[in-house]
Amino acid sequence: MQCHPRRGQGRLWIVSLGPGAADYLTPRAAEALRQAQVVVGYKTYLDLIEPLLHGKTVLASGMRKEIERCRKAVERALKGDGVALVSGGDAGIYGMAGLVFDVCQSLGVAVCDGLAQGDDAGEALPIEVIPGVAAFNAAASLLGAPLMHDFASISLSDHLTPWTVIEKRLMAAAEADFVIALYNPRSASRPDVLDRARSVLLRYRSGETPVGVVHRAMRAGQRHWVTTLKDLVGSNVDMQTVILVGNSQTYLWSGWMITPRGYLQKYTL
């Protein structure tokens, strides 16, 4: 829907913070944070952008309060505020973007495209989703070039998805030789989730398959290392870890993890 915001009407930016460091925050995201009167987010992420929050109304909340944050953000925007709802990584990938639209639909709030606005008055709430550097983009860059060919991203959290669906996806991705990005490799309700995933993958893939593990990419406490599928263990990981499993062509070289861009050795170097 075309946007025609009224003067003084609120608006909502869904802001991707990227991996966390200011070096990877896009100018568009920084501008939205500058313009916003109200910033809403998970406390851990707000701490990462503390210098940008001076003088703003900050509404922080804890984990698993996503719906509450979305409702608050939409309510404040409807009252006339410029609201930035922040999300780590890319807001469109396991982030806050989808929930905002779900909430607006359920509340009967008409929404229009905040990027495509005209000058006339209107009633719809302008929303802009600002894309960012996702966690797997950041993780891959630290490891070298593991995502260079087709890949699948799978969250191992069974909080809102049945394990049978997750398992089916692991099997499909392994059998079709995708590079695989695993999110949420430790679940509160299922601490052995990575070991279970590894067992599924090993039905289809060699134990020598290179694996990269990245913890807190581009943040304080960053650690990353490479291993193989047979040696991958769940003891060192948590919800801030992303794991990248190579395809059949992926190789390790001097500590780097590299996936060639194709299967046909058409090029000579």
Residues 57 to 86: which contact its own copies by CB under 8 A?
67, 71
> Is 9 or 153 the residue whose CB approaches its own copies more closely?
153
Give 111's strand partners. Answer: 125
DSSP 235: G
Nearest Cα neighbor of 113 from 131, 100, 128, 98 is 128
Quick check: 200 binds its own copies (CB under 8 A)? no
What is each CA distance from 239 to 94, 148, 198, in whole angstroms? 12, 24, 17
Quick check: 152 binds its own copies (CB under 8 A)? yes
Question: Which residue in the set 25, 33, 36, 86 belongs to the binding site for its own copies (CB under 8 A)?
Answer: 25
Beta-carbon contacts of residue 166 (< 8 Å; ≥ 6 apart): 154, 155, 156, 158, 197
Quick check: 255 binds its own copies (CB under 8 A)? yes
Beta-carbon contacts of residue 236 (< 8 Å; ≥ 6 apart): 213, 215
Give 38's strand partners. Answer: 57, 83
Question: Which residue in the set 4, 26, 200, 219 belongs to the binding site for its own copies (CB under 8 A)?
Answer: 26
Q: Which of residues 83-142 bind its own copies (CB under 8 A)?
A: 90-95, 97-103, 105-107, 110-111, 113, 115, 129-134, 137-138, 140-142
Quick check: 266 binds its own copies (CB under 8 A)? yes
Quick check: 159 binds its own copies (CB under 8 A)? yes
CB of 17 to its own copies, least distance (A): 12
Quick check: 177 binds its own copies (CB under 8 A)? yes
